[in-house]
Amino acid sequence: MPLETEPNIPAPDDFYQALIDAHAGLDDQRSAALNARLVLLLANHVGDLDALREAIALARDGL
């Protein structure tokens, strides 16, 4: 299963706001913890190791 990089979220603004709102009131450390949990939950949802590796490579690109 290739990683989906074409638009796939029906309401992108709603998602983005939900993501930012989730961090409201958290200090940097807690925010980082939230992100880590989110990555793990989403990774499990994806499941496919090739897709996950591809996402990791794309995220790492240019850093």
Partner 1 sequence: MNTRTPARFPYTPPRELAEGGELRVPVAIVGAGPVGVACAIDLALHGVQAVVLDDNDTVSTGSRAICYAKRTLEILDRLGCAETITGRGVCWNVGKVFHRDRLAYQFDLLPEGGHKHPAFVNLQQYLLEEAMLARLQAVGGAVRWKNRVAGAAPDADGVTLSVETPDGTYRVRADWVIACDGARSPMRDYLGLDWKGQVFRDRFLIADVHMVGDYPTERWFWFDPPFHPHQSVLLHRQADDVWRIDFQLGWDADPDEERKPERVIPRIRAMLGDDRPFELEWVSVYTFQCRRLDRFVHGRVIFAGDAAHQVSPFGARGANSGIQDADNLCWKLARVVREEAPPALLATYDVERVAAADENILNSTRSTDFITPKSAMSRLFRDAVLDLSVRHPFARRLVNSGRLSMPTTYRESVLDTPDTDTFVSVLVPGSPASDAPVRIDGHAGWLLDRVGGAPAVLYFMAPDRAGDLERLVQLAGELRVVVVVPAGGSAFSAGDAVVVEDVDGLAARRYGAAPGTIYLLRPDQHIAARWRRWDAPAFERALARATGRKEVAAHAA
Other Cβ atoms less than 10 A from the Cβ of 19: the count is 12
Please report how close the Cβ of residue 11 comes to partner 1 at its closest, in angstroms.
Answer: 26
- 60: contact with partner 1 by CB under 8 A: no
Among 60, 43, 15, CA closest to 7: 15
User: Least distance (Å) from partner 1 to the CB of residue 10?
Assistant: 25
What's phi and psi for 8, nearest 5 deg? -140, -5
Kind plus residue range of the DSSP H or E element containing 54: helix 49-60
Which one of 7-15, 17-25, 35-43, 48-56 is the stretch in contact with partner 1 (CB under 8 A)? 35-43
Using the contact rule CB under 8 A, the part of the chain among 2-10, 14-22, 40-48, 52-60 near partner 1 is 40-48
